[in-house]
Amino acid sequence: MTGQTVRLTMAQALVRWLCAQETEIDGVRVPLFAGVFAIFGHGNVTCLSEALEGVQDRLPTWRGQNEQSMALAAMGFAKAQRRRQIMVATSSIGPGATNMLTAAAAAHANRLPVLLLSGDSFASRRPDPVMQQMEHFGNPTITVNDAFKAVTRYWDRISLPEQIIGSLPQAVATMLDPADCGPAFIGLCQDTQEKAFDYPEAFFAPRLWEIPRPRPDRRAVARAADVLRNAKTPLIISGGGVRYAGASEAVAEFARKRGIPVVETIAGKGTLTHDHPVHAGPIGIVGSTSANALAAGADVVLAVGTRLMDFTTGSWTAFRPDAQFIGINAARWDAMKHSTLPVVGDALETVRELDEALGDWAASGTHMERAKTLFAEWNDLLDGHQAPTNAERPTYAQVVAAVNRWASPRDTVVTAAGGLPGELMKGWRVKAPDTFDLEFGFSTMGYEIAAGWGHAMAKGGDGTPIVMIGDGTYMMMNSDIYSTVLSGHKLIVLLCDNGGYAVINRLQQFKGVPGFNNLLGDCRTAVEPFPVDFAAHARAMGAEARHCESMTDLQAALDWAKGTDRTTVISIRTDAYAWVPGDADWDVGVPEVSERASVQEARALQEAIRQKQRVGV
C-alpha cells in the first residue's frame, strides 16, 4: 500500500468493493450483497475464487449445481427481500455463462436485482481462441456474454482493471432504481482479473445505498384525482411494485377510506391477506370470477405497480372499452401503457399524495358491498372445487387446499410454470403478506426449487418455503434439493405428478389439437411410459421423502414434514384433467387454415376474443 492507494488485482478489488456496500432493512444496516452463488471454471477459478476465498466470513460463497438455478436462487432471494438486498451469481466463460441467460431473462421480466459475473475471453487476445470461446469471424469483440445485452438492465465488459471503479457503482444504481431495476451483468476478461492496479482507498470505503422514492408530478396527481372523483365503479389493481415500494398498508388504507375494491396481479398476490376487507381476489386469466366481474364493470382502473401483462388484462379483453386507466408506476414505460394516464412515481409516495388530493371523496358504499358479495360467491365456488371427492386421484385444487390449510402464516409458497400457477393463484388463501411467490413474468420452468433455496436463505428460519411443483418441471431442474441439504436450508417440496405437461396439453386440446407430445402417454416412446419414483430420487440427494397415494396420506406426510431436519419432498399422483375454471380470455395463435374442424372452431373463438380487445394507442 502506498499513500492513498492500495494495490490489488482486479478480482480482489471487485470483491473488496462488494464487501464494502451496505443497505438498510427495517432500520438495520446490513450488507447489500448477502452472498455469492458460484460454479468455478477456468474463466473464474484462478482469480475470482482466490479473492472470494479470503472473505468467506463477510461474503459467503455457496456452490450451486447449475448456473441457471444459481441465478434463479438469487432471484428468489431478491424477491423475498423485496429488492432491498442482492445476491451474486458467477460462472466461467462458456456454457456456464450461457446457462445463466434464462435466469437473467426471468429477472429482467420480473424487475429483480441480480448481479451476474461471468468470465470472458482474454482482453489481450494473445492465446485466442481459448477453450469455450465463441469466435465471430467478422467481429472478434463478440463473445457469448454479448447475449446478456438482451436480458439485462446493465451490461459491461471489464478489459482494464480500473474500469470497475466506474462500472460497479453504476451496476448497483441500476439494480436499486425502482424504474430500471433488473439484473446487471459484468463480464470479466480472464487476463484482466489477474492484473494489479493501484486503486484509490476511497473506492473501498463503506457506502450505504438507499433505494430512491421518486415523487410524482403534482399536475399528474391532480389530473388523476379529477378522474377518480368522477368514478362510480373504480377498481384498484395492485401489482408487485406495491410490495417492493413497501406500500401494501398504504394502498389497503387508501382503498378502505375511498371505498375501492382491490384486486391483485400475479406478482401482486400476497400484497393483502385473503380475508382483508378490501380484497376482491386475483384478476385475469388465472384470476377469480369476482375480480374479473369488477374489472368488466369498472369505469376507472387505478393500476398501481403493475406492468399490465396479458394474464392480468385477459389480453386486454377484461375491461370496458371506455374504462379510464390511471397508471401509478416508478417506470414511465409501465405507467403509460394503453393510453393510461401516467403518474410516474414511487407507489407509496404517490398513493399518499393522491389520497391528499382527493379530499373527502369516496365511492358509493354499494360498490364495495357488491365487491364483497362477488368475492363471497367466488369463495363458495372455490370451496366446491377444493372439497374432497371419491375420485381415484386428487385434483390440484384439493392438494393446494390441503397444503394451504396446513401451512403456517409465515411459510412462503413458491411456484412458477405449469398447472400449479393457475391453481395456486386462484386457490391459495394468503394468511400473511409477502408469503406468496409465483414467478409468471417469464413463466420459468425450473425456478421453483432454486427460488425456494433463495427464500430459505432470506427467511433465516422465519417460516419454511413450500415449493409446489409438477413432475415435468421437477424433471427439468431438481439438483438444488442437494444444494439445500448441503447448505442446511430446509424446503418442503410438494410434487404433483400428473404424468407430463398437463396444463399445456389442456391448452393444446382446447385450441383443437389432439393431445400430442405433452402427457407422457401421448409421446413417442420405445417402452410403455412409467412413473418416476420421485421419493427415491429425492432421498438419493439426501432429502427426506415420501410418496402419497391419497389425501389422507398427504395430510400425514405434511405433519411429518414439519418435524424433519432437512429438505423434505412429498410426491402425490394428481388428476391431469381437472382444473378450477377461469372466465378470462387469452389471445394465443390458432392456425388460420386447418382441415381439422376442431381447429376451425377454435380459430373462430379466437377471432371473437380479438374483437373484444381494448386497443392501445
pLDDT tens digits, 386-405: 999 989 999 999 999 999 99
My answer on whether 532 and 419 are in the same domain is: yes
My answer on whether 337 and 448 are in the same domain is: no
Among candidate residues 79, 80, 99, the one with its CA nearest the CA of residue 89: 99
Is 580 within a domain?
no
* Secondary-structure breakdown of the chain: helix, strand, coil percentages, each rounded to the nearest 5: 40, 20, 40
Q: Work out the average pLDDT over 125-131.
A: 90
Is 213 within a domain?
no
My answer on whether 163 and 225 are in the same domain is: no
Q: Work out the average pLDDT over 413-439.
A: 97
Q: Rounded to an integer, what distance in angstroms lies between the CA atom of residue 436 and that of residue 600? A: 39
pLDDT of residue 1: 46
The pTM of the full predicted model, rounded to 2 decimals, is: 0.96
- Looking at the DSSP assignment, which residues form a beta bridge with residue 420? none
* In the block, residue with C-alpha cell 448441503: 486
Q: How many domains does the chain have?
A: 4
My answer on whether 371 and 259 are in the same domain is: yes
Cβ–Cβ under 8 Å, residues 268 and 240? yes
- Mean pLDDT of all residues belonging to the chain: 96
My answer on whether 123 and 250 are in the same domain is: no
Backbone angles phi, psi at 481, to 5 degrees: -55, -45
My answer on whether 154 and 225 are in the same domain is: no
- Within 285-331, strands assigned E span 300-304, 324-329
Q: Rounded to an integer, what distance in angstroms lies between the CA atom of residue 473 and that of residue 69? A: 13
Is 533 within a domain?
yes
My answer on whether 250 and 356 are in the same domain is: yes
Is 469 within a domain?
yes
Q: Note down the domain range covering 245.
A: 218-377
Three-point CA angle 231, 235, 239, nearest 5°: 140
Q: Work out the average pLDDT over 100-115.
A: 98
Q: Name, in order, each residue with C-beta under 8 angstroms of 355's C-beta and a sequence gap of 6 or more.
A: 254, 257, 258
Is 396 within a domain?
yes
Asked whether residue 617 carries a pLDDT value surpassing 60, the answer given is no
pLDDT tens digits, 466-513: 999 999 999 999 999 999 999 999 999 999 999 999 999 999 999 999
Among candidate residues 19, 49, 44, the one with its CA nearest the CA of residue 34: 19
**Percent of the chain residues past pLDDT 90, beyond the cut:** 96
Single-letter amino acid, residue 195: K
Is 382 within a domain?
no
Asked whether residue 2 carries a pLDDT value surpassing 60, the answer given is no
Among candidate residues 476, 483, 541, the one with its CA nearest the CA of residue 64: 483
Q: Rounded to an integer, what distance in angstroms lies between the CA atom of residue 157 and that of residue 152? A: 13
My answer on whether 155 and 47 are in the same domain is: yes
CATH of the domain at 254: 3.40.50.1220
Q: Rounded to an integer, what distance in angstroms lies between the CA atom of residue 336 and that of residue 344? A: 9
My answer on whether 238 and 180 are in the same domain is: no
- Looking at the DSSP assignment, which residues form a beta bridge with residue 327? 303, 342
Q: What is the dihedral of CA 594, 598, 604, 605, to 10 degrees?
A: -140
Asked whether residue 116 carries a pLDDT value surpassing 50, the answer given is yes
Q: Rounded to an integer, what distance in angstroms lies between the CA atom of residue 564 and that of residue 546? A: 12
Residue that finishes a domain, picked among 157, 185, 208: 208
Q: Work out the average pLDDT over 239-250.
A: 97
All 3 cell numbers of residue 582?
A: 377461469
Q: Rounded to an integer, what distance in angstroms lies between the CA atom of residue 159 and that of residue 192? A: 6
Is 579 within a domain?
no
For the stretch 251-266, what's the b/e string if a residue is b when 16 or more beta carbons lie within 10 angstroms of its beta carbon? bbebbeebbbbbbbbb
**Residue 581, CA atoms < 13 Å, CB-side half-sphere:** 6
Q: Rounded to an integer, what distance in angstroms lies between the CA atom of residue 155 and that of residue 272? A: 35
Strand order in the sheet with 568-573: 436-438, 412-415, 465-470, 492-497, 568-573, 544-548
My answer on whether 201 and 238 are in the same domain is: no
Q: Name, in order, each residue with C-beta under 8 angstroms of 460's C-beta and a sequence gap of 6 or more.
A: none
Q: What is the 3-state secondary structure (H, E, C) of 476-528?
A: HCCCHHHHHHHHCCCCEEEEEECCECHHHHHHHHHCCCCCCCCEHHHCCCCCC
My answer on whether 242 and 96 are in the same domain is: no
pLDDT tens digits, 324-378: 999 999 999 999 998 899 999 999 999 999 999 999 999 999 999 999 999 999 9
Confidence of residue 616 (pLDDT cuts 50, 70, 90): low
Q: Rounded to an integer, what distance in angstroms lies between the CA atom of residue 294 and that of residue 399? A: 28
Q: Name, in order, each residue with C-beta under 8 angstroms of 578's C-beta and a sequence gap of 6 or more.
A: 391, 395, 396, 397
Residue that finishes a domain, picked among 350, 377, 404: 377
Residue 361: CB atoms within 10 A of its CB come to 14
3-state secondary structure (DSSP) of residue 413? strand
Asked whether residue 134 carries a pLDDT value surpassing 60, the answer given is yes
Cβ–Cβ under 8 Å, residues 421 and 266? yes
Q: Name, in order, each residue with C-beta under 8 angstroms of 359's C-beta and a sequence gap of 6 or more.
A: none
My answer on whether 441 and 502 are in the same domain is: yes
Among candidate residues 258, 356, 250, 257, the one with its CA nearest the CA of residue 304: 250
pLDDT tens digits, 431-444: 999 999 999 999 99
Among candidate residues 403, 376, 560, the one with its CA nearest the CA of residue 466: 403
Is 276 within a domain?
yes
Backbone angles phi, psi at 372, to 5 degrees: -65, -40
Residue that finishes a domain, picked among 150, 182, 208: 208
Among candidate residues 304, 270, 279, the one with its CA nearest the CA of residue 433: 270
Asked whether residue 233 carries a pLDDT value surpassing 80, the answer given is yes
pLDDT tens digits, 31-57: 999 999 999 999 999 999 999 999 999
Q: Rounded to an integer, what distance in angstroms lies between the CA atom of residue 268 and that of residue 240? A: 4
CATH of the domain at 424: 3.40.50.970
- Within 407-446, residue ranges assigned H as helices are 420-427
3-state secondary structure (DSSP) of residue 25? strand
Three-point CA angle 367, 373, 376, nearest 5°: 145
Q: Rounded to an integer, what distance in angstroms lies between the CA atom of residue 501 and that of residue 491? A: 24
Cβ–Cβ under 8 Å, residues 306 and 330? no
Q: How far is CA 273 from CA 81, 264, 382, 500, in A?
A: 18, 11, 16, 33
pLDDT of residue 477: 96
Cβ–Cβ under 8 Å, residues 583 and 282? no
